[in-house]
C-alpha cells in the first residue's frame, strides 16, 4: 500500500488532480472516475474466472461503515465454496468498493488504480471462498 503524504510542501500537483490543502491533502477524483477504475479492474479479471462468478453484484460507495473508516472493500454473501443445493432464489452477493478511504491513502492516480485493482481482486477472491490469510500470502492484503 502506498504511504500517506507526510506533509505538504507548496502547490504540488499529482498526476491526477491537485492536493487541496483544505481537504486534508486528499487526492480528488469524482465518483464517476472512480467507478470507471472499478469497472476497468473488473475487466482485467481473467474471463475464465468471470464465467465462474455467480449471483454477485459490485457497487461503489463513497464511505464505509462508521465503525471501520479505513475499509477499502467488503464482500457480503455466500462464497461459491459454501453454496449447496439450498442455494436458490437468494439476493446476489454484494461486493462494495469504497472511494473515500482509497483516495485518502493514495498519493497519485496511479496509486488509486493499483489499490483499486488489488481491492477488487481481494473481494472477488472472497466470492470464490479464499480467506484473508491466503490473500495476504498472495500479496492481496
- Is the pLDDT score of 84 beyond 80? yes
Please state the pTM of the whole predicted model. Answer: 0.79
Helices within 59-98 (DSSP H only): none
Highest mean pLDDT among 4-8, 25-29, 106-110: 106-110
Q: Report how far residue 119's alpha carbon sits from residue 57's, in angstroms, rounded to the nearest whole number.
A: 15
Confidence of residue 138 (pLDDT cuts 50, 70, 90): confident
In the three-class reduction of DSSP (H, G, I as helix; E, B as strand; rest coil), residue 63 is classed as coil
Q: Nine-digit cell at 7?
A: 506533509
Q: What is each CA distance from 31 to 28, 54, 104, in whole angstroms?
A: 10, 26, 14
Kindly give the pairing relationship between strand 93-98 and strand 73-76: antiparallel
* Cβ within 8 Å of residue 57, ≥6 positions away: 92, 93, 94, 95
CB 117 within 8 A of CB 79: no
Amino acid at each position: 500500500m502506498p504511504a500517506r503524504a507526510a506533509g505538504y510542501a507548496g502547490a504540488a500537483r499529482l498526476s491526477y488532480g491537485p492536493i487541496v490543502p483544505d481537504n486534508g491533502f486528499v487526492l480528488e477524483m469524482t465518483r464517476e472516475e472512480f467507478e470507471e477504475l472499478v469497472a476497468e479492474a473488473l475487466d482485467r479479471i481473467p474471463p475464465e474466472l468471470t464465467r465462474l462468478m455467480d449471483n454477485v453484484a459490485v457497487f461503489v460507495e463513497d464511505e464505509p461503515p462508521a465503525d471501520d473508516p479505513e475499509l477499502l472493500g467488503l464482500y457480503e454473501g455466500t462464497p461459491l465454496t459454501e453454496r449447496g443445493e439450498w442455494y436458490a432464489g437468494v439476493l446476489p452477493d454484494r461486493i462494495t468498493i469504497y472511494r473515500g478511504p482509497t483516495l485518502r491513502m493514495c498519493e497519485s492516480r496511479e496509486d488509486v488504480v493499483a489499490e483499486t485493482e488489488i481491492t477488487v481482486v481481494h473481494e472477488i477472491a472472497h466470492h470464490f471462498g479464499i480467506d484473508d490469510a491466503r490473500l495476504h500470502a498472495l500479496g492481496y492484503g
